[in-house]
Amino acid sequence: MTTFQQLESQEVVLRPMRDEQSDYERMGRWLSDERVLAFYGGRDHRMDAAGARKKYRPRTTGEESVNPCIIERFGEAVGYLQYYRVEDFAEYGLDDVDVDTWGVDLFVGEPRLWSTGLGSSALRLIVEHLFEECDAERIVIDPHVDNRRAIRAYEKCGFEKVKVLKDHEQHDGQWRDAWLMELRR
Ligand SMILES: CC(C)(COP(=O)(O)OP(=O)(O)OC[C@H]1O[C@@H](n2cnc3c(N)ncnc32)[C@H](O)[C@@H]1OP(=O)(O)O)[C@@H](O)C(=O)NCCC(=O)NCCS
**Cα dihedral: 90, 96, 97, 102 (round 10):** -80
Contact indicator for 172, 42 with CB cutoff of 8 Å: yes
Say if residue 104's pLDDT is above 70: yes
| Cα dihedral 33→35→40→43 (10° resolution) | 70
In a domain, 93, yes or no: yes
* pTM for the structure as a whole: 0.97
Q: Name every residue whose Cβ is closer than 8 Å to that of residue 122 and which is 6 or more positions away in sequence.
A: 12, 14, 71, 79, 81, 106
Domain that holds residue 136: 7-184
In a domain, 2, yes or no: no
Distance, CA 97 to ligand 1 centroid (Å)? 30
On whether residue 1 sits in a domain, the answer given is no
Ligand 1, CB within 6 Å, residue ranges: 36, 39-40, 106-108, 114-120, 143, 147-150, 152-153, 156
Query: Which residue's CA is the closest to the ligand 1 atom numbered 16?
Result: 149
Q: Is residue 141 part of a domain?
A: yes
Rounded mean pLDDT, 129-144: 97
| CATH label of the domain that carries residue 174 | 3.40.630.30
pLDDT at 1 over 60: no
Determine the atom of ligand 1 nearest the C-alpha atom of 153. Answer: 13
Candidate of 72, 149, 169 to mutate for ligand 1, largest count of ligand atoms within 8 Å of Cβ: 149
**pLDDT for the residue numbered 2:** 64
Residues 22-58: tens digit of each pLDDT: 999 999 999 999 999 999 999 999 999 999 999 999 9
Q: How far is the CA of 113 from the centre of ligand 1 (A)?
A: 10
Per-residue pLDDT, 172: 87
Encoded amino acid at 31, one letter: L
Number of domains within the chain: 1
